[in-house]
Amino acid sequence: MKKIFKLSRIYLILVLLLSVFHCYAGEVCEAAAQASCHYASPNGTGVGSYSDPASLQNALALGKAGDYVYLLAGIYSDPIEIEGETAIMNLSKFVHRQTPLPTAEQPLTIKAYPTHVVEIQGDYTERCVIIDRRSHYRFENFKISQCHHEAIRLGIDIPQEDIIFRNIEVTQVRYYDNSGFLVIHGYENVQVLNSVFYDFESSNFPAGNSYYIQMFQAIDVLIEGNEFYGNGSGIYYKHGESQLGRGGYTRIYANSFYDLDEGMAIKSNQNNTEVKGNLVRDAAVVIHEEDGTQAPFTWGTAIEFNTFVNGKLQLNQGSDSYIPGVQLGAFNSSIKNNILMNSDYLIWDYGPDSQFMKGIGLDSDMNCLYDETQSISINYFGASGSWGDLGGHYDLSAWKQQGFDVNSQEVDPQLDGNQRPAVGSACYGKGHSAFTCRWAGVSHSDWVFCDFFEN
């Protein structure tokens, strides 16, 4: 028995020594048992091991359920053309997939190797990343730049589900109309987390819709904790659900939008959009930008616990003739616990008298409204003229008489350098910092900027 114990102890020591040597040698593999790690480098020609890395495309081809594909340091710039689909990271519908296929419990993770700086860099002639017919993939910790039309195209032909982007930096995309840094088409359960999007390439073609994230018939998308700034616009959900009730929820939480030269943070044409906990500086949030193909459209938007500084919140009307007999527009919106500092608030500016009489289901209350230079003015069906006689521009007292914002206040929020209201101010407990704390208490115990707020 003593001999067996001594051998076991020696074996344990050997295992520990091997483990220490393994770490000292630098190789990392986060895959659980039964899964594998594969390694790529920009000039890789090997079998995909740490010491003999493969090319990016060959390393990707090895990935299966639970595996990790690590990108070693460097710039990946070699495009791969497969059946007419060209990208540097090519995961198109034509690319062979290893089995067993990834699952929610055992996703395939593609990420930069720890501490390594990785960039997928195009030459403005092709998309950089194509993802289609793929489910349960994770993309983490690398930069994408100098792409043409889109940095990442997710979906379009055979959309699937469960894709997560985390800590991705995207910049310099040369675009045409309806392109973007990330285009999500038809995919379900997509998360974009803690990433940075900035600066379309300066010599872009003069076409519209230069948005960092664009969505078309996407289902259940979470965009959380990201930064959007620079030459371009933020997020645009352009075309909504393919059939009523299929769109799920679009959740835009705790993002920061600033210095956007096109002045647009968020546009949404989708039902059940939640815009919560965002900091919007010098930019607009617009609900119902254009009429869609199915009614109702842009119903049930919740805009809550956001901070607007020198910005705009705009709920638009839609046509009553685009789909005959159906008035489209931003209906049943909840606008609560926001701070609007030097920011416009416009609701159905060009809406008709007939719709004013019917109502639009607006639930606006418990907001903090303040303008440093003048009394606040809320535009509700205010265009007048040929658009109708009802509605107008209201100060807060008159607005309350209309039945809205009865518990809201016109008071200086005393914002600090992080645009958070001063402790003890009437606006304390509202705006993006209040949401951050409440949401942290539910889903993000690691978040630390809940100063003075209770979870």
Average of per-residue pLDDT across 161-171: 98
Amino acid letter for position 400: K
Average of per-residue pLDDT across 300-325: 93
Amino acid letter for position 241: E
Taking the C-alpha atoms of residue 219 and residue 242, their distance in angstroms, rounded to an integer, is 10
Residue 25 has pLDDT above 60, yes or no: no
Taking the C-alpha atoms of residue 390 and residue 382, their distance in angstroms, rounded to an integer, is 8
Does a structural domain hold residue 221?
yes
Taking the C-alpha atoms of residue 192 and residue 224, their distance in angstroms, rounded to an integer, is 6
Cis, bond preceding 42 (omega within 30 deg of 0): no
Does a structural domain hold residue 293?
yes
Q: Each residue of 31-86: pLDDT tens digit? A: 998 999 999 999 999 999 999 999 999 999 999 999 999 999 999 999 999 999 99
DSSP strand pairing (378-380 vs 392-394): antiparallel
How much is the pLDDT for 172?
Answer: 93
Does a structural domain hold residue 428?
yes
Give the three-class secondary structure for 116. Answer: coil
Per-residue pLDDT band at 300 (split at 50, 70, 90): very high
Number of domains in the chain: 1
% the chain with pLDDT above 70 = 87
How much is the pLDDT for 440?
Answer: 59
Q: Each residue of 382-419: pLDDT tens digit? A: 998 889 999 999 999 999 999 999 999 999 999 999 99
Q: Cα–Cα distances in Å, from 19 out to 24, 27, 29, 96, 399?
A: 8, 10, 12, 35, 68
Average of per-residue pLDDT across 274-302: 90
Does a structural domain hold residue 4?
no
Does a structural domain hold residue 268?
yes
How much is the pLDDT for 359?
Answer: 96
Lowest mean pLDDT among 11-15, 127-131, 390-394, 410-414: 11-15
Q: Cα–Cα distances in Å, from 388 out to 69, 325, 377, 385?
A: 61, 19, 19, 6
Per-residue pLDDT band at 14 (split at 50, 70, 90): very low
DSSP strand pairing (256-260 vs 227-230): parallel
Residues 36 and 43 sit within 8 Å (Cβ to Cβ): no
Give the three-class secondary structure for 340. Answer: strand
Lowest mean pLDDT among 291-295, 397-401, 433-437: 291-295
Does a structural domain hold residue 421?
yes
How much is the pLDDT for 243?
Answer: 76
Residue 24 has pLDDT above 70, yes or no: no
Does a structural domain hold residue 315?
yes
Burial of 94 from C-beta contacts in 10 A (0-12 / 13-18 / 19+): middle
Per-residue pLDDT band at 202 (split at 50, 70, 90): low
Does a structural domain hold residue 157?
no
Q: Chain-wide mean pLDDT for the chain?
A: 88
Residue 154 has pLDDT above 70, yes or no: yes
Show the domain range for 275: 217-443
Cis, bond preceding 100 (omega within 30 deg of 0): yes
Average of per-residue pLDDT across 140-156: 95
